[in-house]
Structure 1
């Protein structure tokens, strides 16, 4: 069965939902149009076009190139609210992407920009990186930074006043860009939102995804059908849900924290032949390896995946299993991230990202594959590329000393970037400096997939949340999250709490009413 709504349509509907929830536009500080403003000349910046646009809100669209390859599109609303937000990319990017637009930023008066990070290609393909170190550096961190600096200069000259607040929003690759900005360029933004961050490209994307695909497709040339079928995943899901769905007091097909469920995949091992109620040893071994994550001679390489979204097409099917014989059921891997370039033929998104990371970024060998590959050698072989690609530094002191706020979020059902990895980075930040919890907050979203969607409530306007926090109007000690129906209309609310707290149900109220929940520790009944 196909997904009910294509992601591009979802984005448009989400904007209508956003407006219907009563979000009001910030009072503009100045009205400017393309005809009344001068576009500043900047070194190494070529302005390709300046056009008057009416879509979303009246604005001036400036398209340009930084250096020789970094393309950007800057949208300048006529009624500017004095603020700037950059939207991050997704996957391997490859075209100008601005995911902040999904949150109504232009309608609310934000100046906003997106970039292709310096190369062209499908966001699921890393082939452009082959023997191209300049493109890798631009993709790794420099493209976003140079776009930020350029956009700020144009904005302030265009409106003839300084920017009040500058924000970055990104999820997935954009979430990794967000962490890179906080770590490497702490002066760029006042507030940063990092969703489901792809922050460790060597161990998380490279080792982690290749590890998973070796079990799902032992022969990388036979990618028609995965080892684990949808029926197998349904059995797994039904088994642990029967065991753990009621642990949080609400029977809703969503686990509040999957780590609280004592499910053991080995309990489904067949004593004889497979019969639909058990799994073969090969399948149990594969599932256990994915849940546990890659391990090497020095221990855990990267966290594995928790149980979750095994039966959702946006979960395991899209990211881990799939199969080229089933591509008719596939959809875009991330909302707001589209491309006119033909997608590579891969069985699932993890196969594309993980294999291409090692093939084109680490080994620069088009013929590389994971057959007989020893993951123990990756840390040494990738030691140079890790310095460019990874955003793993837990020291955010300079960003915080500038008054910066970092808001992180991820879904417990994210089968693209393991939520356990996001938690591990957050805990490293707090361990490095316990006072960082005042300026860095993580929100875990039960039943939510990669960036949004899934079986749980997922709609939050993250740009509003970071703006409210930085401007001082509201500290995110708790956040309202909306349930949406198949037409993306709100059907209820729930509560997100800063990690490690969770939203505790009071036991009597409406399970889809935020007033029925309070932040606290998970109680196992």
Structure 2
């Protein structure tokens, strides 16, 4: 917005831009959790639909994103059952702090600093062993014929694809790229949000792909994902990470056949 002031719904103020930059930045803890975690990566903010007024699926996206009310204490209602409420992130944090960490329903969750939790550090670290299971040695699972297909929308507002990518890379590091390739595939889907998106609402027959891999020994290749909301019927190739679908420069922009999976650096990464 001109001068950085909040003067219009059609532009961003300096304060709003700074808030998005915070959302885009990782949080680093001043201690190591028992699970081994030391941080949580930021989110792919730019291009992500964090919510706007609307009906139908857009209303769901709004509730899953920033919603309509700022966090406060007591925390405003949140969730898909309410027309207005606090951001989902805030609700999760509030309930986790009150019922998991402090086990005090009257505790003001906004007073607990996740980077410097003080007397609650030991409890948070203990909970990480129960909630943040991030084992990377999946040898026994793979040896018994297990296969994993992971897909994550780059516009997910609640769980960062960067965290999923970090886990995938840790598995490759600990088990080796060759062994990992035999049982695990990871795909990122541009435009897809957390279970719902009005930009690209992904539909993919992952069950058939998984069954063919496990039961027939046919590893997934040339998978296609379809949009059921933004542009119904639009398709894109499902690219193995770190690949992403790039338009070849000609052909139907709504057809997967007009795209190729490339692994060159993206401007948003």
TM-score range (shorter-chain normalised) is: 0.7 to 0.9
For 1:99-155, what per-residue CA distance to the aligned partner results, in whole angstroms no more than 9, with x for missing partners? xxxxxxxxxxxxxxxxxxxxxxxxxxxxxxxxxxxxxxxxxxxxxxxxxxxxxxxxx
Q: CA offset at residue 464 of structure 1?
A: 1.5
- Gaps of at least 5 residues in structure 1 are 1-267, 334-341
Alignment partner of 2:68 out of 312, 323, 336:
323
For 1:22-80, what per-residue CA distance to the aligned partner results, in whole angstroms no more than 9, with x for missing partners? xxxxxxxxxxxxxxxxxxxxxxxxxxxxxxxxxxxxxxxxxxxxxxxxxxxxxxxxxxx
Change (3 A) 1:522 1:505: farther
Max radius of gyration: which structure?
Answer: 1
Determine helix, strand or coil for the equivalent of 2:250: coil
Change (3 A) 1:512 1:310: same
Count of aligned residue pairs for this structure pair? 241
Instruction: State the TM-score, normalizing by the size of structure 2.
Output: 0.77
Find the counterpart in structure 1 of residue 50 from structure 2. 310
- The alignment status of 1:286 with 2:19, answered yes or no, reads yes
Q: CA offset at residue 469 of structure 1?
A: 1.4
Determine helix, strand or coil for the equivalent of 1:512: coil
- The alignment status of 1:385 with 2:127, answered yes or no, reads yes
Find the counterpart in structure 2 of residue 403 from structure 1. 145
- The alignment status of 1:301 with 2:39, answered yes or no, reads yes
Find the counterpart in structure 2 of residue 483 from structure 1. 227
Alignment partner of 1:519 out of 257, 261, 267:
261
Change (3 A) 1:461 1:524: closer
Greater RCO structure (CA 8 Å; 6+ sep): 1
- The alignment status of 1:349 with 2:88, answered yes or no, reads yes
Q: By percentage of residues, which structure has more strand? A: 1
Q: Measure, in 1, the Cα distance between the counterparts of 2:266 and 2:134.
A: 33
Q: CA offset at residue 436 of structure 1?
A: 1.2
Does the 8 A contact of 1:411 with 1:452 survive in 2? no
Does the 8 A contact of 1:457 with 1:481 survive in 2? no
Q: Measure, in 2, the Cα distance between the counterparts of 1:447 and 1:322.
A: 19
- Gaps of at least 5 residues in structure 2 are 33-37, 53-57, 71-76
Does the 8 A contact of 2:68 with 2:86 survive in 1? yes
Q: Measure, in 2, the Cα distance between the counterparts of 1:490 and 1:318.
A: 23
Q: Measure, in 1, the Cα distance between the counterparts of 2:79 and 2:23.
A: 23
Structure 1 segment 254-293 matched on structure 2, within 5 A: 271=3, 273-276=5-8, 277-281=11-15, 283-293=16-26
Determine helix, strand or coil for the equivalent of 1:371: helix
Does the 8 A contact of 1:457 with 1:493 survive in 2? no
- The alignment status of 1:443 with 2:187, answered yes or no, reads yes
Does the 8 A contact of 1:413 with 1:454 survive in 2? no
Q: Measure, in 2, the Cα distance between the counterparts of 1:314 and 1:412.
A: 20
Q: Measure, in 2, the Cα distance between the counterparts of 1:517 and 1:304.
A: 28
Determine helix, strand or coil for the equivalent of 1:358: helix
Determine helix, strand or coil for the equivalent of 2:111: coil
Q: Measure, in 1, the Cα distance between the counterparts of 2:102 and 2:221.
A: 45
Q: Measure, in 2, the Cα distance between the counterparts of 1:452 and 1:319.
A: 9
For 1:300-336, what per-residue CA distance to the aligned partner results, in whole angstroms no more than 9, with x for missing partners? 62111112113554687323421359xxxx9975xxx
Does the 8 A contact of 1:452 with 1:459 survive in 2? no
Q: CA offset at residue 294 of structure 1?
A: 2.2
Q: Measure, in 2, the Cα distance between the counterparts of 1:457 and 1:352.
A: 24
Does the 8 A contact of 1:412 with 1:445 survive in 2? yes
Instruction: State the TM-score, normalizing by the size of structure 1.
Output: 0.41
Q: CA offset at residue 297 of structure 1?
A: 3.0
Does the 8 A contact of 2:79 with 2:88 survive in 1? no
Find the counterpart in structure 2 of residue 432 from structure 1. 174
CA RMSD of aligned residues (A): 3.1
Find the counterpart in structure 1 of residue 35 from structure 2. none
Structure 1 segment 184-263 matched on structure 2, within 5 A: none
